[in-house]
Structure formats: C-alpha cells, structure tokens
C-alpha cells in the first residue's frame, strides 16, 4: 500500500508508490558512451581564450589581476548571449485586463564556474565553490538595487536530462520584473502558517526533521541538509540555513564559506552515490522588497532528474515518487565525506 | 525584446523569448534510429493473446462479443499491473498536523487503445477514437460513484520524452482520494473571476480567442481548439467544449463523437506538422462532488515535449517558451485535415 504525503509548506501532495520503485543502485547513471570531454575545448565560448565569444564580463575573479575579458580568471560572470530577458528599457504592462503582457525587461547572466572545460562542481576544490558563491552574492547585491526587478532566480542545470545544453560548468541568474507564481504560493502558505502558529514553517520543518532524524543527509554548524518528507523525486535534497532569513545574503567570506562547504559536500555525495546524475539546483528566496522576513526562509532545492514528469504530474501537480526519502537519505549518508 | 504573458485563468506567467527560438521545421522529430515496432509483439502485455499478462479486465469492447480476457477486443481497460494507488481499503489520514499522509487508496487503470501494437492514435480511424472515449466515459461514470475518490485524472503520455515506457498505445486513469493542488488553484482563480465578472473565465477565453482569431487551430460545432495566449511550450494546444460544463460527461455516442473528431483532428495535425512528437495529453475537470458548475469549465491540454523544463521552470513556475502561439497555430492550421 502506497501513501500520499503532504508537504506542510506548499500543501503539495506526493504519492509515495514505492512498489513501482527501483533500488538506489538501479538509478546510478550508466557510463556515457559519448567521448569524454577535454579539459579545454577550442569551440566552447566559456573556455579561456574565447572571452570574446561572450558578451563583455560583468564580474571576474583573477588571482593577481589582469584586464577584463582576458584569460587568467577563476570565475567569470557574463550576460547570457541568448538572454530570455534584456536589461534595457522600462517595465510596462501592455494590456491591464485581458491578453496581459509585460515587457521582457530583466537580467540573464551566466556564472562560468571554472576555466576548466570538463570540471564538475562535485569534484572541484571547496575553495572554488566559495568563489562561485561569492560571485553570485556580488551579483545579487548589484541586482537588488534595480527597482525594475521583482525576483532573482539562481539555478544550475546539470546534464542534458536537466535541460543543460553546454558542458562547461555554469550557473545561471535570471532576474524578472514579475514575482514567480511558485514563490508567491510558497510565501502565501508560509504566511498562513505564521498567522496560525506564530513561527516560520521552515524553522518548524528543521526542528521536526532534526527530531525525526531519518531523512537527514548532513548537519553542519550553519546548515541542515535533508530529503523532504514529501520529496517529489528520488534523492530530492534541500539545503536550509539554520538561521532564519528570507533572503540569501553574502556580506563577506565568513557567510559564504559554510554554504560552500554544505553545498559541495551534498553535490559530492550525490555524484558518488548516483554516478554524476543530471539535476537541477534552485535557490528559493523572497522576492525583492517583499517584507516577509518573519515567515519566509530561503533554501536551496536539488532535484536529481531520475524520473520524467509526465501527464499526471503536469496536469495535477501531484508527483509520483518511487523511493521513500528515508531510504534515499540513508543511502546518501554513506557517501557524505567527513 | 521578449514579452512576459499572463494566463487569465491560472495567473501563470510565461516568458515569450522568441529570439531564442527555433522555426517549426527545426522542431520536427528526427527519424528514430531504433527498429520500427511490429504490429504484434509477443512480449507486450497489451497485445492480443497476452490478456493473462495483465490484471483481469474491467471493461472491453468486442464486436460480436466473446469471453472476458480473451482476444477479439477493440478497446480493453485493465488495472495497471504496477499501480500508483490501489482500490482496497478506506482512506485514512495518518497524522492530522505534521508529517501528514493519507493511505494510497485509489484507482489506476490503463485503457489499451487498440489491439495493434504499433498503432498511433494520430493515424487511427476516428471511429476507434470514439470507442476509446466511450470506454473512458464508462469508467468515469463508474468511478464517480466511489465516495472515497476526490479526483479522476485522465492522461496520455506519448513517446519516451513524455514519460511513456510502453509502445503499445494506451491512456491512463488515476483516481485519487485527494484533490490535486493544480486543479484547486485553477478553480480558485476561476471562482474569483466569476465573483468579479459574473461569467466563466474559460467562456471568456473562448470568446476572446474567437475574436482574436490568430491562435485558433480548429473550430467545430461543439469544440474550439487553440494555442493559449500564454502557452508554456511550443505547440501547446487546448481543446475546449463550447458548451459550458465543469466535468466531462459521456451519456451516449452523440456526446462522444464530436470530441473524438476534434481530438483526432488535433493529434493528426500535430503528428504531421511535427513528425510524431512526444506529448502529454491531460483532461482538466472539476473534482468529484465539488459544486463549481458555474465557474469551472473542463478542457483537454496537449503539451508537446519539444523543450525540457529545467531549474528555472521547476523553481519559479515561470516557463520559457521559444515560440509565439500565433506562429505555432498558423503552422498547425496547414496540417488540419478538412
């Protein structure tokens, strides 16, 4: 008998149909038959020496310095050459009632995570993670000043099944002039919980999961990593700060390093447990200038693409997960390096 | 400059980023390099002669009759051998507050659409479509009597990118004891619209799209087929009855035939326009015993899987569509058979 679980924060329902499921080992990616990627690819726009193939950089870290748009960088941030949104112009609403549309003003940037073409974040040095997150925090701080923007989406697509078309490791930022529906719904549910209970639903999640213990992947001084009770996919993993905050802020390295450590350890464990699975990594935080400090709580969701969302999921919003998060968490814990 | 559109019914936002897009011809599926499937496959549990490989049938149409679970059927409905939900037992809530879960009571059935292993609904005779929809309507009428159930999901996954693992053409029914979040949200938005405007938002959609004309794919006496203003994917296509009704009802063949005709024509056009694309087809209707007759309006959504939902879509619920629905509708109209 399967069970149907409800997530407290979003009210999302998930059918736990474990009888349809596979064991963790069966989900391990089979070795790709395509040629391994080289350390440097002459045709890759993200590789050193090809800086002119991207729009001019907006940020880069070069040990010892050097001119912009030249090699020698460790992390480089550039506008997306094929952006979904463009930064020029004002945000205007075309029709206030029917056939409503808003001008596509926004920002679409790429954080090139390494000069090495075939680098994998799961096997990078943790110091490189700190640089990547520092670059992200820097861009967040700049974009937050833009009054036209309502939301900053920060996400990483890893592998073709996760929608990634370029091998060279990168993370994306899309800042939109509208607040996303999903985030609005999360915040609405969190506000209701706060009004009813006088505390943050994510803080209660932390406490409940800490007490239950069986879905914990990793706990550090600052972060809690676990597989949610109502995980949508096998090995869905959340990284949540123990300190309540509605937005991800990075004032200095002391704030970035603990997250870099937790994130690196988690991706490294998934890499070794599942054989470099495809995944999407998404930051969830409050929209800009949205005063929900008391009841919203930023976090990172990692969604390995080990199953395909089909008609049932797309139509109903109900997911079918073939593995209990207790089991995937137990399996994953064995791959967490000390 | 792209634009961001809002769907009136769900408030869903979609970025229309046509500069990233492809032309319709570029989306045509390349010919598969795998062997073509035979008309009959000895190992397929849905093929005639293998009736014992499925659970006993719950419904079948046999011209001239014949015993249950024997060959000679035109359409056959069986319980899913690996069901997400099972029909035995009572619906009970395990924890009313935190770690909430409901017993996995429900129904998971498969409508085997043809005895021919490699049949494609897009190229079947329209009479076969009428049989399939009559079988679906029959099962809906039976399942609606079960007081434990709250919703009947009816969907078709076509092709591996759409999550289908079996070639033999089939549609699925999953009846759940919970009302899906997506449907609840649709109904909530539809109710608000009704309260504000005194009419159904879907009826207004029909009227507005009929007036605008540019996104129409097909219009029959009873059905309107169009690409929504805020389509999430290229060639997203909706089939909506002109007559307002919250649920899909099939009292007799006269009700089924017009839908069979509209659906067949639409799938046939997509098949020829895009070279047998992978897609999900989902019925949207009101939950059982939910009195939303005035403001909800059943319809079918067809979602060709011509792009991958990645981190941005999964995290924000904002979709990026690379083709304007005006363009895909214009392209598709050329493939609509008279």
Q: Each residue of A183-212: pLDDT tens digit?
A: 888 898 899 999 999 999 999 999 999 999
Residue B238 neighbours by CB under 8 Å, 6+ apart: B225, B226, B227, B228, B299, B300, B301, B302
Q: What is the pLDDT of residue B28?
A: 63
Coil, helix or strand for A230?
coil
Q: What is the pLDDT of residue B26?
A: 64
In terms of C-beta density within 10 A (0-12 exposed, 13-18 middle, 19 or more buried), how is residue B234 classed? Answer: buried
Q: What is the pLDDT of residue A99?
A: 86
**Banded model confidence at residue B64, pLDDT cuts 50, 70, 90:** confident
Mean per-residue pLDDT for B79-91? 90
Tell me which of B295 and A96 has the higher pLDDT: B295
Q: Is the pLDDT of residue A31 over 50?
A: no
Tell me which of B61 and B103 has the higher pLDDT: B61
Q: Is the pLDDT of residue B260 over 90?
A: yes
Q: How many CA atoms within 13 Å lie on the side-chain side of A108?
A: 19
Of B71, B21, B78, B37, the C-alpha closest to B54 is B78
Q: Alpha-carbon distance A285 to B77, whole Å?
A: 46
pLDDT-wise least confident of A91-95, A332-336, B27-31 = B27-31
Q: Is the pLDDT of residue B7 over 80?
A: no
| Cβ contacts of B229 on chain A, cutoff 8 Å | 99
Q: Both tokens of residue A238?
A: 């959340």
Q: What is the pLDDT of residue A139?
A: 95
C-beta separation of A94 from A103 below 8 A: yes
Residue B4's DSSP bridge partners are A102, B15
Residue A310's DSSP bridge partners are none
Q: Is the pLDDT of residue A17 over 90?
A: no
Q: Is the pLDDT of residue B290 over 70?
A: yes
| Residue to substitute from B80, B312, B313, interface A, most A β-carbons within 10 A | B312
| Cβ contacts of B212 on chain A, cutoff 8 Å | 99
C-beta separation of B152 from B180 below 8 A: no
Give percent above pLDDT 90 in chain A. 65
Measured between CA atoms, how close is A260 to chain B, in angstroms?
19
Give percent above pLDDT 70 in chain B. 90
Q: Is the pLDDT of residue B11 over 90?
A: no
CB contact under 8 A, A15 and B318: no
- Taking only the tens place, the pLDDT of each residue in B134-163 is 999 999 999 999 999 999 999 999 999 999
Sheet holding B319-321, edge to edge: A101-103, B3-6, B13-16, B319-321
**Banded model confidence at residue A240, pLDDT cuts 50, 70, 90:** very high
Distance of CA A218 to the CA centre of its chain: 17
CB contact under 8 A, B316 and A183: yes
| Cβ contacts of B82 on chain A, cutoff 8 Å | 19-20
- Taking only the tens place, the pLDDT of each residue in A79-128 is 998 888 989 999 888 877 888 888 889 999 999 999 999 999 999 999 99
- Taking only the tens place, the pLDDT of each residue in A34-50 is 578 899 999 999 999 99
Catalytic positions of A are 170
Q: Average model confidence (pLDDT) for chain A? A: 89
CB contact under 8 A, A181 and B316: yes
- Taking only the tens place, the pLDDT of each residue in B192-251 is 999 999 999 999 999 999 999 999 999 999 999 999 999 988 899 999 999 999 998 776
Q: How many CA atoms within 13 Å lie on the side-chain side of A151?
A: 24
- Taking only the tens place, the pLDDT of each residue in A242-293 is 999 999 877 666 789 999 999 999 999 999 999 999 999 999 999 998 888 8
Q: What is the pLDDT of residue B322?
A: 85
Q: What is the pLDDT of residue A133?
A: 95
Name which CATH class applies to A3-333. Answer: alpha beta
CB contact under 8 A, A98 and B177: no
Of A251, A249, A258, the C-alpha closest to A222 is A258
Can you count the helices (H) and strands (E) in chain B?
6, 14
C-beta separation of B109 from B58 below 8 A: yes
Mean per-residue pLDDT for B64-80? 95
Q: Both tokens of residue A335?
A: 């791959």
ipTM: 0.91
**Banded model confidence at residue B33, pLDDT cuts 50, 70, 90:** very low
- Strand residue runs (E) in chain B: 3-6, 13-16, 59-62, 73-79, 101-103, 107-112, 151-158, 170-176, 216-219, 223-226, 237-241, 279-284, 299-304, 319-321
**Banded model confidence at residue B3, pLDDT cuts 50, 70, 90:** low
Q: What is the model's pTM? A: 0.92
């Amino acid at each position: 008998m399967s069970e149907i679980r409800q997530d407290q924060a979003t009210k999302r329902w998930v059918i736990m149909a474990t009888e349809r499921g596979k064991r963790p080992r069966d989900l391990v990616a089979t070795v790709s038959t395509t040629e391994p990627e080289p350390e440097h690819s002459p045709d890759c726009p993200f590789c050193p020496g090809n800086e002119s193939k991207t729009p001019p950089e907006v940020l880069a870290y070069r040990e010892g310095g050097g001119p912009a748009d030249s090699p020698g960088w460790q992390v480089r941030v550039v506008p997306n050459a094929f952006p979904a949104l463009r930064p020029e112009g004002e945000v205007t609403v075309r029709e206030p009632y029917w056939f409503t549309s808003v001008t596509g003003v926004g920002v679409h940037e790429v954080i090139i995570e390494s000069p090495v073409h075939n680098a994998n974040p799961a096997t990078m040095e943790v110091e490189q993670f700190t640089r990547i997150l520092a670059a992200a925090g820097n861009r967040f701080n700049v974009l937050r000043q833009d009054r036209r923007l309502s939301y900053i989406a920060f996400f990483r697509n890893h592998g073709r099944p996760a929608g990634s078309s370029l091998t060279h490791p990168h993370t994306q930022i899309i800042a939109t002039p509208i607040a996303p529906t999903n985030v609005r719904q999360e915040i609405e549910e969190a506000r209701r919980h706060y009004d009813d209970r006088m505390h943050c639903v994510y803080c209660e999640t932390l406490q409940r999961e800490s007490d239950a213990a069986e879905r914990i992947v990793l706990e550090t001084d600052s972060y809690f990593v676990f597989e949610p009770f109502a995980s949508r996919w096998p090995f869905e993993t959340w990284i949540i700060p123990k300190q309540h905050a509605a937005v991800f802020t990075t004032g200095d390295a002391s704030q970035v390093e603990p997250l870099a450590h937790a994130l690196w350890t988690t991706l490294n464990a998934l890499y070794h447990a599942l054989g470099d699975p495809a995944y999407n990594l998404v930051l969830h935080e409050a929209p800009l200038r949205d005063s929900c400090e008391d009841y919203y709580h930023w976090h990172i969701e990692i969604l390995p693409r080990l199953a395909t969302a089909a008609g049932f999921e797309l139509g109903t919003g109900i997911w079918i997960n073939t593995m209990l998060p207790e089991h995937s968490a137990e399996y994953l814990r064995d791959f967490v390096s000390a």
